[in-house]
Structure 1
């Protein structure tokens, strides 16, 4: 299958989305501090968006004749992001999210979009550009938030 690199990338991206979905739930549940109410709601908005976007990624894999990964073991194996492993403090959480989002943006820009472009797969390019834009907005918002820490 000559689109296997693209399918593999989308499955890696899907895996990262599920790692982020769980990580954001953890942050949502365990956040403490002065900004609890604000961050608790923001993390819920983020994980809700990640869930919907993961579905879009999986459906795109199916549309290009691939099979989306669908087990946590495979997600952990294929993800390039790490799970949240500790009860991080507010500043550590926001810094980690910025790093994770920037890594995902870089992978989309340097791998995913070029793979889709090689295949002249404009719908996948469109999906990836949309996801990149959402991630860039999160980075901008988190940087703006951290300016007041």
Structure 2
């Protein structure tokens, strides 16, 4: 219970009545237990559409620090994400492609390699730093 309290914050927002009506309709349609849960899910889904390869990769790497079960992390972070177009689970790594054309491989050791839509390679090392892997001409 204490861990749950540390990972959540209570906020109060003033919303237009029409927006609240839409949230409660979503709650009823999805048979969710509370209006708060409905708002939480709607916000999470909307914010996922703003993600980029780096944000998703960092979310995955942050979770990898908590648990070493890469398949569980993939289920929580990648499966069902609106910008993930492909997912491949390999021994020691997980690769995913995005609708943007970015390709990412996350490794069990807490590092990742990315190739963006322009075919530029990048890496995230174990310290969380991004390095450009492009070889100078």
**TM-score scaled by length of structure 1:** 0.26
Task: Identify which of structures 1 and 2 has the higher relative contact order when contacts are C-alpha pairs closer than 8 Å and 6+ apart.
Answer: 1
**TM-score scaled by length of structure 2:** 0.27
Which structure shows the bigger proportion of residues in helix conformation? 1
Q: Which has the larger radius of gyration?
A: 2
